[in-house]
Every structure is written in structure tokens, then in C-alpha cells.
Amino acid sequence: MVVLKKIIYFTQNFLYLVNKSMKKLYLIVFLLVNTFQANAQFDEFEQYIERDILGVDNINYDVEEKKQIIGAARSSRSIEELPVTLYIIDHNDIVSNGYVTLCDVLKNVPGIRVSQPAGSELGEGFVQRGMIGNIYTKILVNGIDIKPSGVTSMPLGANLPIRQAERIEIIYGPASASYGNDACGGVINIVTKRPGDKAFTSADLMFGSGGKRYLNFNVGSKLGHGKHVVEFTLYGSDLNINEMQLPDETSDVYNRWNYFFQNGDVINYQGYAITPTMVTEEMFTKYDFLFSDMNLYFVNYQGDFYYPQICKRPQQGTQVGVDVRYKGLTFSYNVLHRMDFTNHGASGFTYNLSDPEALFGEYIHRFALSGDYQFGNVSTNTSLHLNHYRMDENSYRTVNWNTARQYFWGACDDLGLEENIIWKLNEKLDIIGGASFTYTGVLPKTTDNSTKFDYSSYKMFSESVDFQFPLIGSWGIYPYTYYQTGAYLQADFDVKPVNITAGVRYDYNSQWGSTVNPRLAVLWKITDDFSFRASEGFAYKTPAPNQIYYTVSVAVPNESAPNGYVLAYHHIPTVGKLVPEHISSTEVGFRLYFNKTNYMELVGYTNRMRDPLVRNWVAMDDIANYVPQANVYMSGGEKTGYIVDGYLGVGVTNLTNSEVDRKYTRAYANEKDAKSKLYGLQLIGVMQDIYKPIHLNIKGALTYSVGQEIISANNAGETQFNTINYVRGVPKFMGQLSAEFDFWKIMHLRLDNIYCTKVSRRYYNGVDNDFFWSPAYYTLDVALSSKISKNLTILVKGVNLTNKLYGGMDAFEMDVDLPYNPQLLRNFTFGVSYDF
């Protein structure tokens, strides 16, 4: 323990210095890259890889590459021998198409729907087979976790090494049998580029719509001779957008009164039945006595009667990475930082949208030490990592009911150890096994307070904080520690023409107990060109600390309250009331090859979820079940609220339902009687070099989804379960078609077409009206690149050239969201890439 404390103390001080010198670090690294360019003598470096987004055939098919270990699949088998749905995006595709973020890459992968933006907490987001990928998909960098375990979702933006990736491996389906928690929807592994036998350096400069500026570099080389060679890579990137190209405030999607009518066609307010046509400025003036209390709610509202004032909505993303390798031992350090406009996708009825400095962001620092060794027919991978997460201390949002800024806070530290072993018994059987242990200290991320949290009061892995807020004391400050450990065993059988993968994993979480998740997958090569595969997998997702202890409260002055303030509880913790979500999936697929690179594939799958975790209305009468230290407050012989940490608290209920007064608040809960089933069918085609003079490639995917959910109406009061014959957030049809070709020998053109039918909102209150559906859309992206010299490439890219106004993922999955979350309108990027 003494050694551990010393490591923690050293890490704390180091991270403090890094956080305070982020910009200086980036500048130093950039200057270092230029020094290498000026003085190092690099060998000629050229690489030709076939472009392929939707298939797996873009990997170089020489002997060594074909037999590489696919990290995301945890297998030593070659790609075509794996009985899973796997897609690989190579470096050439990333560069030639101007991809900067992970969602840029995923946008054209079959069946994945992206949201750019998705909201402040997610940044950018994606939905993979009905599940939010930021939450349910395991994201790795070089095979090691990059997401802190104490946060609900992985924040995505220009904060991952995408342009430095040699390849990005994407696996569909539950993978808890290998990875444990968070691998419910699949696994994404970003594999960064290594120098190999030759050194390299590359850099990108991009600019575009909305004042977009992007700078990126990557350098790798080797030092030493013979057996004493040190291999290193150094990379980083910085993105700044002054104003995202989103619809302006005159768009009907921002009409603040939508907040009411998404709950039905009539508002029952103060005994009056109000229809949409009655909501006019004249009516509010005429019935001032009726709406006077509502005017108090808009004390910080900016805008006219219908549309809020909307500021420029910026976006920022920075990442720096260092990898040093020596004799199988690798040290890696990554720092990720991003900032997004806090109120993306939020209703102007509730949130103020006029402050461009209202940003939401966080830092993630990851230190990793790993070793890869071979002992005869046994290969091992051992890794030790520390993930250090802190919310940016300047993160805040603005609201209509309060003129003060509302600050966020949150912290998490993971210390993890993992061991993986592959034992190749013979050519027909591999045994793969491993074990992991992670110790986590967390200060759950939560909101809102007009005072910044003092991060110096919280130490890594601490269970107490010497800090209180001026008005609400320690409400919302709940630091604690926990651990999770697990072990798995997997067997890969290769008995021609059948490949079988069978595995099981046991996990124990100190909060949630134990779980066992098996997986079975089979690949049958019926002929050399025709194969069949089937799999069944199980997964689980533990509640995140941010869900257990999520708190939102508003301090309202009240002379009769014990401490002079009443807390209006918007959200309260759900201590001891949650259980893990459980997911299972079945998949079958057929693939027919026409030749080595051209094929058609038909995939059918189903995802099933039980015990889903949702935000529910909670009666304040039951608050003692959720907040153990709560005490009833009596005034004049009547119960008027609850005392928590010395402060009087009351509920907060939807303004459209005045009859329930302040008797309800929100809390996360498992819906025990809720169920979700998604059935999908995908047809995928990859046709390369159809017309050789221009190297015409066409890739497409058509996804058909149906399903059913049993879900409660999200209303305060008695819970009522309804059955809906679809899965929320999933379109019935989604089509993706990409075409690319060369012309004039130096030009390359790519066209990406996406069509999506209407999509239902995640927030459900039992009302199915126009406000519950995002409209259908078609978008066209075009990328034109030209290699004007051996080392220099220019790029022009247009996104959403149809200028379609359409919706992405809901920002909060609550009634405070816009009817749909607007996505980027027509925008352009111009770039120059240098490779040497």
C-alpha cells in the first residue's frame, strides 16, 4: 500500500502539471516534429492499400498481415476465419476521406447511425444495433481501455488518434465473454501506426466552414542497432470550430413552446385547456394573471416570444500520444481533451442558448505499460494502465430559471491490470484465456451549482472530500471506491471446413456481485466462395456511478426554510436500487465471394435487453428509499418537504401537470417489467475495380429493423406500461451507398449517400404525435482528393450537400430535449496532407 500511495502521489502531481501546460505541451511536440523533419534522413516510404470501407478486404494480404492477431476479436485467427461480423477501416481510407473523428469513420459502416453532434455529454455519438455506442460499445486504443469506468459514456470528438490509426477494427455483437462490462454492443479497437522497418512523418492542415481549423501530426522512427532498438511514435492533433454549421434560431425545431406540445395536443394548465393555436403572445398578455408564475421561470431567457436567441456553438478537440517500444515492452501515454457547446439539442424553454462560453468538456489521461512475449507456442500480453479523468473545471451550462452559471464536476481514476494468453496447441486448436482487475476511485459526475468545485479537495481514490458548496453543502458530492475483477476462457477450433469459437467469462463487481456470460460462434465454409456463420452471445452493463449518484437541484431563497433556501430536486440519487442491464444477441450470416475482393453478404440478428436503466419519476414520499439521510420536514402540522444535509427539499414536476404540484422528482431506476427486442436484416455488397480504367469501387448496405419494446410512459404519477412495435432511436430502413473512382490519374472522388427513414425519440411518455418522430432524410457527402506530388495530397470535402435539416440522437433522453437534435448543414473542408 505504501508503494501504491507513492505512485498515486507522483501521478497526481504529474497530471496537475500536464493539465496546466496542455497548450505548451502541444507546441513543444509540434516543434519537435518539425525538428525531425529537418534533420532526420528518412528512407522512401510508400504504401498502397486498396480502399474499402464496408469490407475487410482492405488489409494487405501478404502472409504476415493475413495471420496478424486481431485485437478486438482476441484471436490469432486470420480475418476470414473469424466467425464474427468484423469490419476494418484502413489508414488510406481515413486520410483520403478527411476523417477526423471516430463518428466520421463510423458514418458509412453498415447499420451504424451517427449523430454529429449528439449532445454535450456524448459529444458525438453513434447507435449500433439499437444501442448507444458511447455507452454499450467497448472502445480501445491499441487493445487497452481508453474510457474511464466511472463515467456513463465515452465522450467522442476529435479527441482520439483517428488519423494516426493504421487500422480501426469494428466488431459487432456482445463481447462480455472476453471483455466483461461495457462490451454489450461490440468492440472498437483503434490501432495506431508503427514505423516498422522505415521511419515516417506525416502532417495535416485543414480549414473550412464555421472557422474550422485542424492540425495533425504523426512521426515514428527507431533508435539503436541490433537487438537494442527503441521504436517510438509521437502524434497529436488539434481541432477548433468557431461555429458549427447548424440551423439558426428561426428553425421551427427551436420553437420553445414545442416543450408543451410534445406531451400531447392539449395542455391542461391551471384549469384551462390550451391548444397549440392558443399559444400566442397576445394570449399571454391577455391572461397575464394565468402565466405570471411562468414568467418568473424565464428570468434568464433571451429571445423573442417563440424563438430563443442562439449563440455561435463552438467545438474543440485535442489529443497527444507517445508510444515507446523496446523488446516487446511498450509504454504509452495519451491525453484527450474536448469541449462542446453544453446545450446542444436542448429545448430553449428550459435552457438558455445565448452564451458561447457555456461549454462542457473533460480531460482523459491514460498511462499504459504492456508487454508482448512469445514462449514457443504460447504468446502473452500483459498490461498495466491508469486512466485519469477530470471534467474541465470551466464546464458549465446556462438555464432560463437562474441567471447564474451552473457548473459541472466529476472525477474518476482506474488502476487496471490485465493478462491475456494464447496457447496454440496445434493447427486446429487455440486456447485463449485471461484475467483482469481494476480498482476505481470516483467522484460521480453531476450538476449544477453556481460555484465551481474545488478539485484540489479531492484526491485520487479518496472516499471523502473536504469541500462544501455555499448553498447546498455536500449535496451531490459522493466519492467512493470499488473494484471489479474477472477471468475468461475461450477455445478456437479449426476443423475444416468449420471454425468454432466458444468462450465464457466470470466477473465480480464489489458493488453488483457476480455475473457469467458465455458466447458461441460457428463459421462453416460450405465452399471456397460461400460461407455461413452463426453466433449467440450474452453481455451485461453495470450502472455507472454517474447514474447511481446523479443529482440536480436548484436552490431557491425561502425565509421559512431552516437554512433560508429550499432545494428543488430535479434529480436525486438511486442508492442501492439498481441492478446491471443484461443483453443477449443472436446472429446468422451468409457471405458469397465472386472473386477475392468482391462479395455479397446477408446478415440477420436480434438484440434483447432486460432490466433497462432509465430516468423515472419518483414520488417524494419515497425519497427516504433513495436518499437514506433524508428526514421529513413538518411545518404547521403538515409535511412540506424533506431535509437532506440540513437543507429543505421539494420535488420538481413537469409544468404541464400542475395537479401533482411538487411531489415528484427524477431518479435512475431499472424497469423490471420493461423489455426490448430488436430484429435486423442487413444486405451488404462490396464490388471493387468494377471498371479498371478508373478503378471504380461500389459498396453498399441496406439495413431493415423491426422490434418491440414494453416500456412505461414517462409521466409523474402511476406507472403504466405500454407496448410499442418498434425500438426507439432505430430507423426501419437505412441505406448506405458509397462510390469511388480515379480520374486524370491523380484525382480520386468518393460519394457517400445515406438514406434513413423517420426515427422515434428515446424519451417516451405514452403520446405518439409528430413531436415524437425525427423526419426521414437523405444526405450526400463528397470527398475529392488529389496526390499532386509523391508526398503531398490535397483534399476538398463537402458534407450534407443536400443541406437537409434532420435529427440525430437525443441530447438527454428527457422532455427537455428539442423535438429532434439538429445535425450539421452543408459545410466544406479544405485540407493538405504531407507524408514522408
The grid cell for 513 is 456481485
Q: Select from 409, 431, 386, 495 the least CA-distant residue to 149.
A: 386
For range 19-46, the mean pLDDT: 37
Q: What is the pLDDT of residue 274?
A: 73
As a whole number of angstroms, the distance between CA 435 and CA 505 comes to 9
As a whole number of angstroms, the distance between CA 574 and CA 549 comes to 6
Whether the pLDDT of residue 27 is over 70: the answer is no
As a whole number of angstroms, the distance between CA 220 and CA 231 comes to 8
Exposure string of 531-560, with b = 16+ CB inside 10 Å and e = fewer, is bebebbbbbbbbbbbbbbbbbbbbbeeeee
Unique residue bearing C-alpha cell 490485465: 418
Q: What is the pLDDT of residue 283?
A: 78
Phi-psi region of 693 (alpha: psi -120 to 50; beta: other; left: phi over 0): alpha
As a whole number of angstroms, the distance between CA 506 and CA 483 comes to 14
pLDDT tens for each residue of 724-736: 999 999 999 999 9
Backbone angles phi, psi at 73, to 5 degrees: -90, -10
Q: What is the pLDDT of residue 632?
A: 76
Residue 290 confidence class, pLDDT cut points 50, 70, 90:
low
Residue 7 confidence class, pLDDT cut points 50, 70, 90:
very low
Exposure string of 320-332, with b = 16+ CB inside 10 Å and e = fewer, is bbebebeeeebeb
Please name every residue paired with 540 in a beta bridge, in sequence order, or none if there are none: 582
As a whole number of angstroms, the distance between CA 372 and CA 417 comes to 14
Whether the pLDDT of residue 38 is over 60: the answer is no
pLDDT tens for each residue of 409-437: 999 999 999 999 999 998 899 999 999 99
Cα 767 off chain centre by: 28
| CA separation, residue 620 to residues 333, 634, 639, 653 (Å) | 47, 14, 11, 11
**3-class DSSP state of 771:** helix
Question: Do 96 and 748 contact (CB within 8 A), yes or no?
Answer: yes
Pairing outcome for strands 513-525 and 530-541 = antiparallel
Whether the pLDDT of residue 296 is over 50: the answer is yes
The answer for residues whose C-beta is within 8 angstroms of residue 187's C-beta and 6 or more apart is 72, 73, 137, 138, 140, 169, 170, 171, 175, 179
Among 445-449, 459-463, 696-700, the minimum mean pLDDT is found in 445-449
Residue type, 371: G
pLDDT tens for each residue of 70-84: 566 677 676 777 788
Residue 557 confidence class, pLDDT cut points 50, 70, 90:
confident
Residue 502 confidence class, pLDDT cut points 50, 70, 90:
very high
Name the range with the highest mean pLDDT among 14-18, 789-793, 797-801. Answer: 797-801
The grid cell for 555 is 436552490
As a whole number of angstroms, the distance between CA 359 and CA 314 comes to 8
Q: What is the pLDDT of residue 68?
A: 43
Q: What is the pLDDT of residue 67?
A: 35
For range 485-502, the mean pLDDT: 92
For range 490-509, the mean pLDDT: 93
For range 323-327, the mean pLDDT: 93
For residue 230, the tally of other CB atoms under 10 A from its CB is 12
Share of the chain above pLDDT 90, in %: 55
Residue 269 confidence class, pLDDT cut points 50, 70, 90:
low
Residue type, 499: N
Compute, in degrees rounded to 10, the torsion defined by CA atoms 130, 123, 664, 670.
Answer: 40
As a whole number of angstroms, the distance between CA 809 and CA 731 comes to 12
Whether the pLDDT of residue 797 is over 70: the answer is yes
Residue 133 or residue 1, greater confidence: 133
The grid cell for 1 is 500500500
Whether the pLDDT of residue 132 is over 90: the answer is yes
Q: What is the pLDDT of residue 342?
A: 95
For range 188-214, the mean pLDDT: 92
Q: What is the pLDDT of residue 284?
A: 76
As a whole number of angstroms, the distance between CA 166 and CA 190 comes to 8
Q: What pTM does this model have? A: 0.89
Query: CA angle 443-448-449, nearest 5°?
Result: 100
For range 799-805, the mean pLDDT: 95
| CA separation, residue 690 to residues 48, 598, 687, 792 (Å) | 19, 9, 6, 28
Segments of 620-746 assigned E as strands: 631-635, 638-644, 647-651, 664-670, 675-687, 697-712, 721-724, 733-743
pLDDT tens for each residue of 560-616: 777 777 788 888 888 667 889 999 999 999 999 998 889 999 999 999 998 888 888
Residue type, 336: L
Please name every residue paired with 471 in a beta bridge, in sequence order, or none if there are none: none
Q: What is the pLDDT of residue 76?
A: 67
Residue 664 confidence class, pLDDT cut points 50, 70, 90:
confident
Q: What is the pLDDT of residue 614?
A: 85
Average pLDDT, the chain: 84
For range 622-628, the mean pLDDT: 69
Question: Do 392 and 421 contact (CB within 8 A), yes or no?
Answer: no
Residue 757 or residue 257, greater confidence: 757
Question: Do 127 and 809 contact (CB within 8 A), yes or no?
Answer: yes
Whether the pLDDT of residue 661 is over 90: the answer is no
Q: What is the pLDDT of residue 635?
A: 66
The answer for residues whose C-beta is within 8 angstroms of residue 162's C-beta and 6 or more apart is 94, 99, 100, 101, 102, 104, 105, 168, 190
DSSP 469: B
Residue type, 328: G
The answer for residues whose C-beta is within 8 angstroms of residue 738's C-beta and 6 or more apart is 53, 54, 108, 697, 698, 699, 700, 750, 751, 752, 753
Cα 84 off chain centre by: 22
Query: Residue 36: enclosing H or E segment and its boundaries?
Result: helix 22-39
How far apart are the two ends of the chain, measured CA to CA in Å?
48
Pairing outcome for strands 144-145 and 747-756 = unpaired
Q: What is the pLDDT of residue 552?
A: 84
Residue 198 or residue 319, greater confidence: 319
Question: Do 315 and 241 contact (CB within 8 A), yes or no?
Answer: yes
As a whole number of angstroms, the distance between CA 714 and CA 721 comes to 9
Residue type, 520: L
Question: Do 550 and 517 contact (CB within 8 A), yes or no?
Answer: no
The grid cell for 378 is 504460447
DSSP 446: E
pLDDT tens for each residue of 672-689: 888 899 999 999 999 999
Entry field: residues in the chain: 836
Backbone Cα Rg of the chain: 27
As a whole number of angstroms, the distance between CA 178 and CA 184 comes to 11
As a whole number of angstroms, the distance between CA 81 and CA 497 comes to 10
The grid cell for 304 is 423573442
Among 29-43, 709-723, 761-775, the minimum mean pLDDT is found in 29-43
Q: What is the pLDDT of residue 6?
A: 42
Please name every residue paired with 503 in a beta bridge, in sequence order, or none if there are none: 490, 519
Q: What is the pLDDT of residue 628?
A: 65
As a whole number of angstroms, the distance between CA 119 and CA 345 comes to 6
Whether the pLDDT of residue 147 is over 70: the answer is yes
Task: Give alpha helix (H) positions in 40-132.
Answer: 63-66, 91-96, 102-106
For range 381-385, the mean pLDDT: 95
As a whole number of angstroms, the distance between CA 619 and CA 653 comes to 10
The grid cell for 245 is 454549421
